[in-house]
Amino acid sequence: MTQSTHAAPVRAPHQWLALTIGVVYLLVGIAGFFVTGFDGFAEHDHDQTLLGFAINPLHNIVHLLIGLLGVIMWSSPSRARTFGWLLVIGYGAAFVYGLVAVNNPDINILNINAADNWLHILSALAGLAIALWPRRGAGTTSPGPRQT
């Protein structure tokens, strides 16, 4: 019997966080279509909610895309960090947009409510944690040549 000499890559905590967020958003995107169906693509209707979060088909697609990115990008430390920055920028912008859109149905094409705004800012903060997670060995220095 031969043993493989290839060890599975060791994943950093920020990679696992990226994967977890990706899987959650992917599942939320799928579950959202069971609530909204495919009608009223960008409709503003706070009666369509998933666990208190307002959704519509367009919002579901955004969740699916974020989820797919997380599932794809968790594979390496640098890709996971890039996913983190995408969360910071994307959900930071979604939070700001939501502050204006939540009370303005004319521009609220993602059907955002106050609960969504809280989730968006938490997602942006989680993205910041992923992006800025300390690198392995950061802060450790090897001693230089000894001088006498």
Cβ atoms of 111 and 56 closer than 8 Å: yes
| The residue to which tokens 């992917």 are assigned | 26
- Domain, as residue range, for 88: 13-40+49-132
| The residue to which tokens 């968006």 are assigned | 120
Measured in degrees and rounded to the nearest 5, phi and psi for residue 49 equal -130, 155
What total number of domains does the chain contain? 1
- Which tens digits make up the pLDDT trace of 45-89? 778 889 999 999 999 999 999 999 999 999 999 999 999 999 999
Cβ atoms of 73 and 83 closer than 8 Å: yes
Task: List the Cα angle 100/89/53 in 5-degree steps.
Answer: 50
Q: In this predicted structure, what is the pLDDT of residue 67?
A: 97
Asked if pLDDT for residue 5 goes beyond 80, the answer is no
142 within some domain: no
61 within some domain: yes
Q: In this predicted structure, what is the pLDDT of residue 135?
A: 83
144 within some domain: no
